[in-house]
Amino acid sequence: MPIGAQFSFVRQAATAVGGAAISFAQNDAGDALVAVFGSVNTTGDASNLPVTIQDAEGNVWKLLYGSLNVKGTVSAQYVNMAVYVCPRCAPSIGNVLSMPPAMVPADNLLTVSYSAEFTSNYADLLYAQAAVAVDEIANFTLDGGDIMNQNLVVALVLDSGLTSNPQIVAAPDFPIPLSNTNNSYAGSAYEVSIQSAPLSSLIHVGINGATDAFGVLLVMVGTNAGGGSASQTLTFNLNKGPLPVTPPEGRTIATVIIDCTQQPVKTLPIQYPELEMYGNPTAGEIGPAGFVVCEFDLEHLFQGSGLSEVRAISAWCRPAFWYNDSTGTRSDDIPPSPGYFFPALLTNKTTGQTILLGSAAVNASTDVTVFGSYLVMPFPANKNSLKYRFIQPLYSLVPYGKYVIQFYNFELPAALESTQGLLSSTLD
């Protein structure tokens, strides 16, 4: 991967002329896949796009951008477009992804599909911005603003009149075309992320030759550097404890380790009973802009077995733990200025009980040696009410925090301790 790059082009998928599907001869484990679909219909009867779709290998692709039933005044035809991404794919040979049927009603005139594979160090891809032009004649421009070297960009233009072959003309040119024209009336996709410096001069993308067109320039940004999937990095352990009172499973401690730097990051809005936030905080504001959310069921941990009750919990909380891109290390430290870190929330989804994890460390953040805090407290729950949700608010889209939470089916005396200077700055 070139110096300064966050993405590196690997390969493009095969697409049939006028096809409604893409296929990879192969794709490598953990790579990011991006698919762009376009279609033209005679009536505006394309239905709602699914939020997620699956390919033949079971990878889940999420909808990043979609636009349906955009009518052209010259041709009176309707244009549809969708961009789906799979941030980290499973390895496969001959993988196939089909266009959502919602985009291909019976009156369809044109379908175009293309996809590309990239290596990246991100666990997720998020929508950053889009420049859209609707019902344009002849030449027009799409303004992508300042496109930085950490962005991944795709562009598409369709001539709804089916009278020309529109061409994307960048200023300066996009470095790497991902796909040639798939048929006589489709544009191409491009990737601009492998530059060693920001492409601040890449402001306008011109479209030549269209007579009744819909064009879009979509900018994506990677988040959660070095992160893995939640299913791979959420760790459970059952440890037998000492005896007196004996629940059905014996005196047991269930240990849940949540490394937020390995989890996907959700953006606003967020809507849960214990935390509901809207808006779009920017750098310099104290309000959270991203969240790590994990859910688990202590009653069914290992093939249906688990705890029958919880009476107390203990937690070792490290809200200042993070992955430093510049040094390539994981450390407990104060965030780069300006920045904040927040305590996490742990909620019993059935009873609504909610507690804060790591607030002692956060409240003592003026002392840079306070990197963690430990607590023990009653947190009772019975059978059929052992489902929990963990939420870590984040100052930005960079994930912070690592937590070891232990659930006991026997009583413990309450305790709270803020531990200073215990952790080195590089302890993992």
Residue 200 pLDDT class (50, 70, 90 cuts): very low
Q: Give the length of the chain.
A: 428
> Within its chain, how far is the Cα of 207 from the centroid?
30
> Percent of the chain, pLDDT > 70?
71
Are 2 and 47 in contact by the 8 Å Cβ rule? The answer is: no
Asked if 220 contacts 125 with a C-beta cutoff of 8 angstroms, the reply is yes
| pLDDT greater than 90 at residue 314 | yes
The continuous run of DSSP H or E covering 176 comes out as strand 176-177
Q: What does the DSSP assignment read for 74-100? A: TT--EEEEEEEEESSPPPEEEEEEEPP
What is the C-alpha separation between 51 and 383, in angstroms, rounded? 34
Residue 226's pLDDT is what?
A: 65
In degrees rounded to 5, what are phi and psi of residue 262?
-105, 10
Residue type for position 359: S
Long-range contacts made by residues 352-359, C-beta under 8 angstroms, separation at least 24?
352/273, 352/274, 353/379, 353/381, 354/274, 355/379, 357/315, 357/317, 357/319, 357/403, 357/405, 358/315, 358/317, 358/318, 358/319, 358/401, 358/403
Query: Which phi and psi angles does 260 have, rounded to 5°?
Result: -65, -25
Look at the pTM and tell me if it is higher than 0.95: no
Interval 29-88: pLDDT, tens = 888 888 888 888 998 888 888 888 988 888 889 998 888 888 887 888 888 889 999 988
> What pLDDT shows up at residue 300?
83
Query: Does residue 241 carry a pLDDT above 80?
Result: no
Tokens of 345: 């929330």
- Give the chain's largest Cα–Cα span: 82
For the cut 50, the answer to whether the pLDDT of residue 167 exceeds it is yes
Strand partners, 312: 378, 408
Delimit the domains of the chain by residue range. Answer: 7-224, 226-420
pLDDT digits (tens, 9 = 90+) for 244-296: 556 777 788 999 999 998 888 888 778 888 888 876 555 445 678 889 999 99
186 contact partners, CB below 8 Å, separation of at least 6: 38, 110, 112, 156, 157, 158, 165, 166
Q: CA-CA distance, 82 to 89, in Å (whole number)?
A: 19
Give me the pLDDT at residue 391, please: 96
